[in-house]
Structure formats: structure tokens, C-alpha cells
Amino acid sequence: HSSGPVQGTLTIPERLQHIPEAEDPGFFEMVEYFFHKSCVLIEDRLVDVNMKNMRTTREEKMKKAHGILKIIEPCAHVLEVNFPLQRDNGDYEMITGYRAQHSHHRTPCKGGIRYSLDVCADEVKALSALMTYKCACVDVPFGGGKAGVKIDPKKYSENELERITRRFAIELAKKGFLGPGIDVPAPDMGTGEREMAWIADTYANTLGYTNLN
């Protein structure tokens, strides 16, 4: 078996070429590195197989393929919210939460909400991108999303967790990051059906009260 010469022009960006040897690479940088590695491998197939029925020059097909790949890579939206919590003992503290919507090529976005002290913007961006790719691989019609609240849920009472969850849901809904046709959360580390019920109830009784879905 022999194959023709590779004609692709894509390469891994210089800013990401150190990733395989890096001691502590960023999570989203690792996802970007493997995305670009995949692009290099698939470029000719995209042009010569997937676009073979397009009645245009190979150069124009290349431009379109490169444009689509550029659209796929970045996160469409990344939201950071900060809100106060009054603890059961009367003390106040600030809670930080994130939601990333990687792709709206298919809606709604879908992805879990995790409660962990490791949560950060880089993590939710990376996990939302991976969710997009996982859905695409099995042809599930959703874009990728992921959210997180930077807390250790074991250190909060049930009442405190309910206040955190409901307030986080309100903050997401106000910015268009929550809704059955927009962005659908799911359980993840530190969350379960209880938190999903609080979110659904909060949305149904506030911004979502007119939503037929």
C-alpha cells in the first residue's frame, strides 16, 4: 500500500510546541496542543475527502477548512462570577464560580458543574472543549460546556450549599448561561441530583418561568 505525498500546510503553533516536554503545562494548553496535532493529521482528508463534492479549487477548500478549524479551537464564552455568601454562623465570604461555553455549533451547550477548590477558568475552558469533542465523536447534538464553583463542599452545610447553588444558577441565567435551549448543566465532582434540582427549581421560578421547555 502506498499513499500520495502529504500536501497539508498546517503546523502546531510555536507557543504550544513545548507542551510535550513541559513540566507543568496548562490544562487548556494541552487540549489546544492535541487539537492542533489532530488538525495536522486530518487536514488533507478534510479537503480531499470531506470537501470533494465542493465545486471550487483546492486552494479555496483549504481556506474554508482552515477557517472552520480556527472557529472550533477557542472557547466561545467564559464567565466568572463572584457573589457573597452568609454562612450559618453569620460570617460572610465571597464565592467564585465559572462557566465556559466552548461551542455553539450545536445547541444547547451541555456540561457538568463541579464543586472543588481546584476549579479555575483554565480548567472549565479545557473541560468544555473536551465535551465538545466527545459529543462530536458520538454525534450527540450538543456543544460543550463546563462549570465550577471554587469551594470544598464538605466544609459547608446543606443550607449553605443550597444558597450557593441557587445564587450561582441566578448569576448564570442572568448572563444567558443557563436554560434548556441555551446551556444545560449536569452533575460532576461534588454535585449530584440534589444540586440539579435546586438549579432547575431556581430557573423555573425566576428567568425561566415563561420558558415552555
Cα gap 77→197, rounded to integer Å: 25
DSSP 130-149: HHHHHHHHTT-S-EEEEEEE
In the residue annotation, 134 being an active-site residue is answered as no
Q: Which of 125, 146, 150, 175 is catalytic?
A: 146
DSSP string, 156-189: S-HHHHHHHHHHHHHHHHHTT--BTTTEEEEE-T
Query: Which H/E stretch holds residue 210?
Result: none
**Is there a contact between 107 and 158 (Cβ–Cβ < 8 Å)?**
no
Active site residues: 146
